[in-house]
Structure 1
Amino acid sequence: MKVPKAGAVATVIALAATATGCGGEAPKEPISIGIKFDQPGIGMREPDGTFTGFDVDVATYIAKELGYKANEIEFKQVYSSDRELLIQYNEVKFVAASYTINDKRREKVEFAGPYFVAHQDLMIRADDNSITKAEDLNNKRLCTVSGSTSAENIRKNLAPKASVLELGGYSECLVAIRDNTADAMTTDNSILAGYAARKENAGKFKLLGLNMSNENYGIGLKKGDNDLQRKINTAITKMVSDGSWEAAVKKNFGPANYKYEPAPQVTTGH
């Protein structure tokens, strides 16, 4: 019989101790939460690897109420086009990513909330005076991200002759406007305000202040997981009542002088 080397034995013992917590409770697996990595003020992965934004604060608060500490959270990047897939394939426990509740998405995922109300708006170059309303986008180039419903709303109802440029992320749309390969960018005013408020963008862009839609942000989770839905709704309600929601809004949107709506009433799961 082959005798294992001392190093191998030590490794096996160490692994066994880790797995059992030295006879105590096994270490808790981190909770995986889907957020945006490129939306200033909403969900942003900063150069130093930390995460900032309102959705990050909401997700962290919810995770705490579910029994997880900050260091037990694993944030995973989601894009507008793959949020449902990550939830359906259990890549994340829930998604907090400027995720508007609508009937089409409800067919695939469950929602908790809403926890925030935004409005669709337009952002253009600060020196562009040719666009003052959505109808001015006819024969102009409108940038949006794949999977977003914003451009579809404008083409269908306001500017049918607008050409739509679909890119992978809002940061790419921002570059397209800056470089004059697009004339306008559309999404929720909360997201646009986050971009306009960044120091590097100061004075370069402007929001038109159009409230073209009501976007109720919800927490996306696995279809049929009503227990988790109930727990998240309870956490959201608590976050509003103890003042943490208001503090997070002011911290993330305050520098942009963003006029936000009061916290909405939680309505899902009722």
Structure 2
Amino acid sequence: MRSRHRRITAAALAAVAVLGLPACSTVLGEQESLADATSLTVGVKTDQPGLGLEDENGDITGFDVDVALYIADRLGVSAEDVEFTGVTSANREQKLIEGDVDMVVATYSITPARKTQVTFGGPYYVAKQDVLVRAEDSGIRGVHDLEGLRVCQGEGSNSAARITEGLGISVRKTEAPSYSACIEDLREGRVDAVSTDNLILAGFLAEDPSSFHLVDEPFTDEKYGVGLPRGDIRGCEAVNDAISRMYQSGRAGELLDTWFGEAELKLVKSVPQFEGCV
């Protein structure tokens, strides 16, 4: 599913969504689906340790990368035919809609609003939102202690809204281009806390355990979905089959241990409850 195929897919599936036709219907004479891919371009984060991090050689590694490679293999696409490209929380939907990527595996929490723009496979993991603070800030022991404090979120994220709107806790929200930028703001004292998924925070904590402290009082479920062009139901079902196999075979547990085994987290290694391909 390189450039021409991706462009047709995005346009065709958009037409399917508008017309209300089944996603596997023939559009413009072609049946377009991720399930038929012979190559893939996958959007991943490139600045999140343990999930998707690009090194000085341009290689991207992490849990999300390995999950994408596993799914690709189950779809019959070899690792050599998978191209990874960086995405951010702010541009994931647009990358799929415009056909720049075939699939997004990038700590992409499934939400009702996002479901109106893309189709989600999975979730492939259910993380928990938590709070990261500076090591010396022992007074912050839970999300309610953030009242009135400066809390950073990455652009395009919903994490602060889950605190203010979801829990009714008034915080001074700041926004940075990415969570790596939020971590730098926390390090330099420009914000008091960073709140997002515990896997993301654990990755940054592992990079610099002497500077930060994970509060470890989770307060939401964050369902990491595999983003697909809207309307690709057959592709979504194929992705879900792959995720099920990944957990049932024990591979998901191995990957979680590889990337987060040293973190003080309760890693969930059972098959997540799928959202359904709609």
After superposition, the C-alpha distances for 1:188-226 in whole angstroms (9 at most, x for unaligned) are 00110111012xx02211111122111111101011111
Share of identical aligned residues, percent?
38
Which one of the candidate residues 241, 245, 259 is aligned to 2:248?
241
After superposition, the C-alpha distances for 1:24-59 in whole angstroms (9 at most, x for unaligned) are xxxx97410010001111111122322221111100
Please tell me whether the aligned partners of residues 123 and 208 of structure 1 are also in contact (alpha carbons under 8 angstroms).
Answer: yes
Q: Quote the Cα distance in structure 1 between the aligned partners of 2:238 and 2:142.
A: 41
Please tell me whether the aligned partners of residues 96 and 218 of structure 1 are also in contact (alpha carbons under 8 angstroms).
Answer: yes
Q: Does 1:269 pair with 2:269?
A: no
Equivalent pairs, count: 241
Q: Quote the Cα distance in structure 2 between the aligned partners of 1:190 and 1:225.
A: 28
After superposition, the C-alpha distances for 1:166-189 in whole angstroms (9 at most, x for unaligned) are 001111111101100011001000
Please tell me whether the aligned partners of residues 137 and 159 of structure 1 are also in contact (alpha carbons under 8 angstroms).
Answer: no
After superposition, residues 84-163 of structure 1 pair within 5 angstroms as: 84-158=93-167, 160-163=169-172
After superposition, residues 246-261 of structure 1 pair within 5 angstroms as: 246-261=253-268
Report the CA distance between 1:76 and its aligned residue: 1.1
Report the CA distance between 1:262 and its aligned residue: 2.9
Please tell me whether the aligned partners of residues 122 and 187 of structure 1 are also in contact (alpha carbons under 8 angstroms).
Answer: yes
Question: Could you tell me which amino acid in structure 1 is paired with residue 221 of structure 2?
Answer: N
Normalising by structure 1, what TM-score?
Answer: 0.85
Structure 2 equivalent of residue 217 of structure 1: 224
Which region of structure 1 is more displaced relative to structure 2, 53-62 or 202-211?
Answer: 202-211
Question: Could you tell me which amino acid in structure 1 is paired with residue 184 of structure 2?
Answer: V
Please tell me whether the aligned partners of residues 247 and 269 of structure 2 are also in contact (alpha carbons under 8 angstroms).
Answer: no
Report the CA distance between 1:233 and its aligned residue: 1.0
Q: Quote the Cα distance in structure 1 between the aligned partners of 2:167 and 2:247.
A: 35
After superposition, residues 1-270 of structure 1 pair within 5 angstroms as: 30-158=39-167, 160-198=169-207, 201-263=208-270, 264-269=272-277
Unmatched tracts of structure 1, length 5 or more: 1-27
Normalising by structure 2, what TM-score?
Answer: 0.82
Kindly report structure 1 stretches of 4+ aligned residues shifted beyond 3 Å. Answer: 157-161
Q: Quote the Cα distance in structure 2 between the aligned partners of 1:177 and 1:184.
A: 6
Tell me the SS of whatever aligns to 1:235: helix
CA 1:182–1:139 in 2, change beyond 3 Å: closer, same or farther? Answer: same
Q: Quote the Cα distance in structure 1 between the aligned partners of 2:197 and 2:46.
A: 16
Structure 2 equivalent of residue 19 of structure 1: none
Unmatched tracts of structure 2, length 5 or more: 1-36
Please tell me whether the aligned partners of residues 108 and 226 of structure 2 are also in contact (alpha carbons under 8 angstroms).
Answer: yes
Report the CA distance between 1:73 and its aligned residue: 1.1
Please tell me whether the aligned partners of residues 122 and 184 of structure 1 are also in contact (alpha carbons under 8 angstroms).
Answer: yes
Please tell me whether the aligned partners of residues 252 and 269 of structure 2 are also in contact (alpha carbons under 8 angstroms).
Answer: no
Q: Which has the larger radius of gyration?
A: 1
Please tell me whether the aligned partners of residues 135 and 159 of structure 1 are also in contact (alpha carbons under 8 angstroms).
Answer: no
Q: Quote the Cα distance in structure 2 between the aligned partners of 1:215 and 1:171.
A: 19
Structure 1 equivalent of residue 29 of structure 2: none
Question: Could you tell me which amino acid in structure 2 is paired with residue 266 of structure 1?
Answer: F
Report the CA distance between 1:241 and its aligned residue: 1.4
RMSD: 1.6
